[in-house]
Structure 1
Amino acid sequence: MNLNHNIPLITLIVFIMTVPLAYGAGGACKGKVLNPVTDICWQCMFPVKMGSVSYGNGAEPAPGNVTSPVCACPDSKGVLIIGVSTAFWEHARLIETVKDPFCFPVMGTGMTNPKPGFSSGENRSKEYGDSDYAFQQAHYFYFPAWSILKLFMDFPCAENKAFDLAYMTEVDPMWNDDSLSFIINPEALLFGNPVSQLACVADSVGATMSYPIDPLFWCMGSWGSFYPLSGSMIENNPFNVNAGLAARMLFKLGRETLLYDTGINQCASAGVVTPILVKSNYRLQVARPVRGNDCIPIGRPSLIWGTAKNPPFGTTNTSPDNFLWSLTRRRVCCVGYALN
């Protein structure tokens, strides 16, 4: 279920301020508004490649599917543009994965759950059942950081949108019910076997050393399986759960044709619809509860990046198990001039 993508930021703020706040319902949702300058890891935009030259983080290969330093692409009017191939990591989206429904850590506030206890997060270990289990809600925001901060406004590759809440799973029955989620991922039945899951070991190794293996599209490395595309996971580690659900949100949006991959075709400025997620085109950074300094490929073990990022009693930023992720995506484009 897709919410209106055209709600201006001021309308969204007024809406949240005019409904009962979660603070009045016991203070489950606490925090402060995201500061895009201090809470975002700006090093995550590197390395950048322009033509045949790369800048920043020389240990990592330059992003994007760029095979030539020179490019030629038609614009919206069919006029040919000759230019320089450009690739970088773009700060484009925010994803919240929260145990408290209707809680928005990015804004430091939330709404009262109309049905207290309904759709709340859950995390239990095997001692309370046959297997580990966890469930969280998720929110997806437009966050074109350069546009919000009025940086590089004349750069044609930068997305020019406003901050906006684009999707919230509390009102999505497919996220809250594994059986209903099969409507959009019937192929999940093919991968629920030991042989398919054994292949995910290789994906975990790839994500640990460099990037995940895209042909193993059902795997999230050490975080588990992408399927089902719902909010529940057979997992107990809070970092694997929340990072995995943030990745699942991307896969789910792609399956619903709401996610456009900007790292595939440099001539498609708006991106390409990807019903099967290209995992290596996305990285996550923890912004809440505790800011992280790592740009995490999908599936990288939490032992590498999760230390002290989720204090048991929360922080002034947010309550425990309410996570905010800054998403950087590969962006390839052609920077040049039209041939009139």
Structure 2
Amino acid sequence: MWRKYLYLIIALAIISASLPTKSYAVCKGKFFNPITDIDWWGIFPVKIGGITIFKTKIDAPSVPGGSPICICGKPPNIKFGIKVSFWDPARLVETVKDAWCFPTLGMSVSSGGFLNGSASAKDRNSNEVFAQSHYIWMDIFALVGLFIDYSCFSPLDFDIAYITEVDPTWNSDITAFLLNPEALLFGNPIAQLVCSADSVSSNMGITVDPLFWCMGSWGSAYPLTGHWSGRDKTTANAAIAARMIYKLSREGLLWDGAVSYCYKFPTPIWMKSHYRLQEARPLRSPWVLPLGRSDLIWGAGANPPISGGHGAEDNFLWILFKERLCCMGIGL
């Protein structure tokens, strides 16, 4: 389980050693620690057989009612079990101003060049933020040795699964139109005015799935790129991380495990209430966020200046909590 993780670290270290020294200056930090960097309260509420084990005040799982028993599959492969729901911190999303910077690893593998975001030091007065993003598989429960014997978990190795530096649709709003042509329907004042309802709701801890083009207080979900209008870097990076989730859902690379107890499904139109974010870099946040919650509530001190404005600030790592429904039992 750790072997692939170790090989990746060694490979990145070799690549970094062959690069100019200046490539390290833009990406400082420390290696991600799954034990101390995760807010473990974020996995709650947990329900087993319809009984809530522990409650929280945000984003209660949208668990269907009915029998606590579940039946999955078809003869002769039928599985009986008990309905279970929880929040799984199985993925990481990085949003970085310095291209090829990996806050998860605390290192950079390139100086970035023209791929750097508009939040870099020379563009700090810009009215637009641009960040690259990375999507990382890291099955936390498997890494720390929890629950891996249960049928609800299918442990995955550590892997950097997606990087936007090589994706032309991430850098261009026009090219991204190929992925989200429906953006034309929601790029008007009326559609955006409706988003105020989602903003109020998300600040109370509940996101509104039918308003899929909205991200609460974070603005519009479209276009599915790394560009965000505004100067607030903390809000911008949270919004860009959320767009990354939507983008991967649209591309069929992120399947939703909270639609059914038996299967995961592709969701080209995302169910945003099935996802939460927690900031882990530049600083570990004690808050697990429903998508769209205003940074006036959680963002104070979340992006401190480091090394005179040329260090780790504006390079974010977010822990992605995915709501998970499963049928815990044995196959017959």
Instruction: Name the counterpart of 1:328.
Output: 321
After TM superposition, the score normalised by the length of structure 2 is 0.91
Matched, 1:98 2:91: no
Tell me if structure 2 keeps the 8 A contact 1:47–1:60. no
Q: 1:233 to 1:77 in 2, by over 3 A?
A: farther
The whole-number CA distance in structure 2 between the counterparts of 1:45 and 1:23 is 41
Residues 70, 82 of structure 1: 8 Å contact kept:
no
1:166: Cα distance to partner?
0.3
Task: Please give the secondary structure, in 2, of the residue aligned with 1:90.
Answer: strand
Residues in 1 aligned to 2:268 and 2:21: alpha-carbon distance in whole angstroms:
41
Name the CA distance, whole Å, in 1 between partners of 2:143 and 2:289: 23
In structure 1, runs of 5+ residues without a counterpart are: 1-6
2:57–2:205: 8 Å Cα contact kept in structure 1?
Answer: no
Paired residues of 2:59 and 2:205 also in contact (CA < 8 A): no
What SS class does the counterpart of residue 174 from structure 1 fall into?
helix
**SS at 1:100 equivalent:** coil
CA RMSD, Structure 1 to Structure 2 (Å): 2.3
Amino acid at match of 1:81: K
**Counterpart check, 1:14 vs 2:7:** no
- Is 1:147 the counterpart of 2:145? The answer is no
1:44 counterpart SS class: helix
Equivalent-residue separation in structure 1 for 2:145 and 2:328 (angstroms):
19
| Alignment map for 1:49-60 (pairs within 5 Å) | 49-60=47-58
- Distance in 1 between residues matched to 2:30 and 2:186, nearest whole Å: 41
The alpha-carbon deviation at position 232 of structure 1 amounts to: 0.5
Structure 2 residue 301 is the aligned partner of structure 1 residue 308: yes
Instruction: Decide whether aligned partners of structure 1 residues 18 and 78 sit closer, same or farther in structure 2, where only a CA change above 3 A counts.
Output: farther
Q: Structure 2 unaligned runs (5+)?
A: none
Equivalent residue number for residue 257 of structure 1: 252
- Superposition deviation, residue 75 in structure 1: 4.1
Q: 1:287 aligns with which of 280, 301, 308?
A: 280
Residues 19 and 258 from structure 1, CA distance in 2 versus in 1: closer, same or farther, beyond 3 angstroms? same
Residue 329 of structure 1: CA displacement? 0.7
**Counterpart check, 1:163 vs 2:139:** no
Q: CA deviation at 1:58?
A: 5.0
**Percent same amino acid at aligned positions?**
43
Label 1:59 to 1:324 Cα distance change in 2 as closer, same or farther (>3 A). closer
Residues 260, 31 of structure 1: CA spacing in aligned structure 2 closer, same or farther, 3 A cutoff? same
Superimposed CA distance per residue, residues 143-196 of structure 1 (whole angstroms, 9 cap, x where no aligned partner): 110011111121111231111100001111110111111111111111111001
Q: How does 1:1-340 map to 2 (within 5 A)?
A: 8-20=4-16, 24-25=21-22, 27-60=25-58, 62-75=60-73, 78-113=76-111, 117-123=113-119, 132-268=127-263, 271-313=264-306, 319-338=312-331, 340=332
- The aligned residue for residue 4 of structure 1 is none
Cα shift readout 1:218-246 (whole Å, capped 9, x = no counterpart): 00111111111111011221111100010
- 1:17 CA drift (Å): 1.4
CA distance in 1, matches of 2:252, 2:318: 22
AA aligned opposite 2:21: G
How far apart, in 1, do the equivalents of 2:9 and 2:75 lie? 37
Quote the offset at 1:127 in angstroms.
11
Aligned residue type for 1:320: E
